Structure 1
Amino acid sequence: MDIEDFSLDPAVAHLNHGSFGAAPTAVHDRQDELRREAERDPDVFFATVLDRIAKARDEVAAFLGAAPEGLSFVHNVTEGVAIALNSVPLAPGDEILIGDHVYGAVEIAARRRAERTGAEVVKVTLPGGSDGDWTGADAAAAFLGAVTPRTKVAVFDQITSNTARLLPARDLVEALRARGVVTIVDAAHAPGMLDVDVSEIGADFWTGNLHKWAFAPRSSGVLAVDPAWRERVEPLIPSFYLGDGFPRSLEFQGTRDYTAWLAAPYGIRLLDGLGANAVRSRNAALAARGQEIVAAGTGLRPWRADPELSMRVLRLPEGVAVTHPRAEALSAEIFRRFQVRAGVKPWPGAGLVRLSAQVYNTERDFERLADGLRRILT
């Protein structure tokens, strides 16, 4: 499978798959069929859509190692985290634990929940300084060291977004649960990139995107909920099925477009047909090679990496892309001048370049980025 199997512009080097994903054209064709079906007879489509969503959910649950009755479709991880946070009762003085590598929208959700309940957000600084030079055990120790008697809930990544690092989700869940802390795992990048077993992780709430690495259309995500919490879970927007409880109450919002969810199993089947483990190994190896190419071509310093991930990070020179607007400006310049899409991320002191590798990428894409970055930075 190469770029001709996607709708992506073949004139562009697409190295930012981790931000928005890209589904193969075969998956979009299936989604288009579903949309045409809905338009031919909306009454029949919406009368039967909940049963079809349940069938699709069963297939996704099997792929993720999750209990079907404990899984719900959501539109993305931001929605999943917000639902999870709203499900946990909080009072003034309670603490919500997050890490300093947290995704921005997730931090906003945590702070909003804290403002409404009188709770406090505590941000954990992970070790390693400017090079991200920490291990999973280091990260776990930092989180556990920040727990106090007031800590009620911890929100942490399975794979950090901006910095592309892997956290020991299962170990953290076990250790936090032993301390009486509710766990919410942001697994936005995990489905498809990792061989996930949600039941083994055992979090109170686990939420991941299918449209990043599992070949599903946007917007398709899932929220897995432990049995102890399912009766407390409510949708952000109520519907006629609110009284039906989880997961049905979350999955119907009137006349929304459900075709991404219904097409998600098709993307998973396509990934399995290619050999999911082979795709993961190939992408991880290419990401590592891409990091080497860009480092050699620009002199940028690579961040510590986890070998099983399909993303890698390099640190920009001091003072470059330290704010979101400046990171966006550099990303736009890279595209305008060299037709390369790269994930430029703000970071204190110096921004980061996050590289993604998917089946449509080759080493030549990373060489183009290295050449363009070298010209811009010099």
Structure 2
Amino acid sequence: MALSRRHLLAAPAALATTALLPGPLLAAVAAQTPTLPDLSDWEAVRAQFALDPTYLHFASFFIASHPTPVREALEGYRRAMDANPFLVVERAMFEDDAHNLPLQVCSEAADYLGGKAAEVCLTRSTTEGLALVYHGLPLKAGDEVLTTVHDHYSHHESIRLATARANASMRKIALFASSATASVDEIVGNLRAAVRPATRVVGVTWVHSSTGIRLPIREIAAMLRDLPSPPLLVVDGVHGLGATDETVATMGADYFCAGTHKWMFAPRGTGLVWANAAN
């Protein structure tokens, strides 16, 4: 990807900034939104955050402080909407594709993920994305969803509710004995040994918030593809997206769900699902 970590602050503004808003809507919002600041050095980057200097802030895993470009883009969009609600809503939602704001955001997100706009769904959080994916899967009685004890409550609940509705089942396994000594071979091997003929879906988390373990998604995906009946791979990617130099669309997942208001520093209440178009 051409987008560097240093220039990452410009990316979340894509969810609200003027670069996505063509025609009259672009002009309306552009008039209300300042240009992006110079982010060529880390002091300039740090200065974008209005964080309380009396604290040491290590909580981006929870919810990120909005940097200046995002705060100003949100405020500019709000001013434009207040000035002409009809123009903003009508052109952004109901006109042709060139003026459709959600479609333009999907295109920008796809460029970052390495995929196509048609493969991206906009959500409000990782939780919402996981729920949409699991409840959209064609599970049936007797099917199994295999997940791990390391996954977040929201991931487990999405699986539990979807399998209960379909009269399917869920099973949790440990991928490693100790996070301090976990290896790629141990993780992939334990997962391979746990897959059964009834396993239709495998759900994992890319980066574990509890330990910081980053799962070898590419190796896991390759192992699953080699099985006689490969199960779908669903990835909770919220703690990797924006924090890891990876091209999501080439990792091998079938579904990748992530909020963007953490390591991407995007507006709160934003997220996405990337889905493999082959599915």
Q: TM-score range by the shorter chain?
A: 0.7 to 0.9
**Cα deviation per residue 1:72-122 (whole Å; 9 max; x = unaligned)?**
211111111111111211122211111111011111111111111111111
Q: Following TM superposition, by how much is the alpha carbon of 1:52 offset from its aligned partner in structure 2, in angstroms?
A: 1.7
Q: 1:1-378, aligned counterparts within 5 Å?
A: 1=43, 4-50=47-93, 51-129=100-178, 131-179=179-227, 180-229=230-279
Q: Distance in 2 between matches of 1:183 and 1:228?
A: 13
Question: What one-letter code is carried by the residue in structure 2 that aligns with 1:165?
Answer: I
Q: Deviations over 1:43-78 (max 9, x none)?
A: 111112231222222122111212222112111111
Separation in structure 2 between the aligned mates of residue 86 and residue 66 of structure 1, nearest angstrom? 23
- Unpaired runs of 5+ residues, structure 1, are 230-378
- Is 1:65–1:197's contact at 8 Å kept on the other side of the alignment? yes
Task: Give distance in 2, aligned partners of 1:195 and 1:66.
Answer: 15
> Runs of at least 4 residues of structure 1 off by over 3 A?
1-4
1:118–1:192 CA distance, 2 compared to 1 (3 A): same
Taking the aligned partners of 2:47 and 2:119, their CA distance within structure 1 comes to 37
| 1:25 Cα deviation from its structure 2 partner | 2.2
Question: How far apart, CA to CA, are the structure 2 residues paired with 1:82 and 1:177?
Answer: 24
**CA apart distance, 1:174:** 2.4
- CA–CA distance in structure 2, aligned partners of residues 111 and 132 of structure 1: 29
The match for 2:28 is none
Partner Cα distance (1:138, 1:48) in 2: 52
Query: 1:132: Cα distance to partner?
Result: 4.2
Q: Identical aligned pairs, as a percentage?
A: 27
Indicate how the Cα distance of structure 1 residues 83 and 132 shifts in structure 2: closer, same or farther if over 3 A, else same. farther
For 2:271 and 2:185, the matched residues in 1 are separated by: 28
8 A Cα contact 1:22 1:217, kept in partner: no
* Partner of residue 36, structure 2: none
Comparing both structures, which one devotes a greater share of its residues to helix? 1
In the alignment, residue 158 of structure 1 is paired with which amino acid?
W
Distance 1:7 1:183 in 2: 38
Closer, same or farther: CA 37–21 of 1 in aligned 2, 3 Å: same
Report the number of matched residues.
228
Can you give the 5+ residue segments of structure 2 that lack an aligned partner in the other structure? 1-42, 94-99
SS in 1 for 2:172: strand
Moved more, 80-89 or 169-178: 169-178
The match for 1:247 is none
Tell me how far 1:187 sits from its aligned partner.
0.5
Does structure 2 retain, via aligned residues, the 8 Å contact 1:191–1:208? yes
CA distance in 1, matches of 2:53, 2:277: 46
In 2, distance between residues paired with 1:220 and 1:136? 32
Structure 1 residues 6 and 95: alpha-carbon distance in aligned structure 2, compared to 1, 3 A threshold: same
Q: 2 CA distance for matches of 1:142 and 1:44?
A: 55
Residue 38 and residue 135 in structure 1: after superposition, are their counterparts in 2 closer, same or farther (change >3 A)?
Answer: same
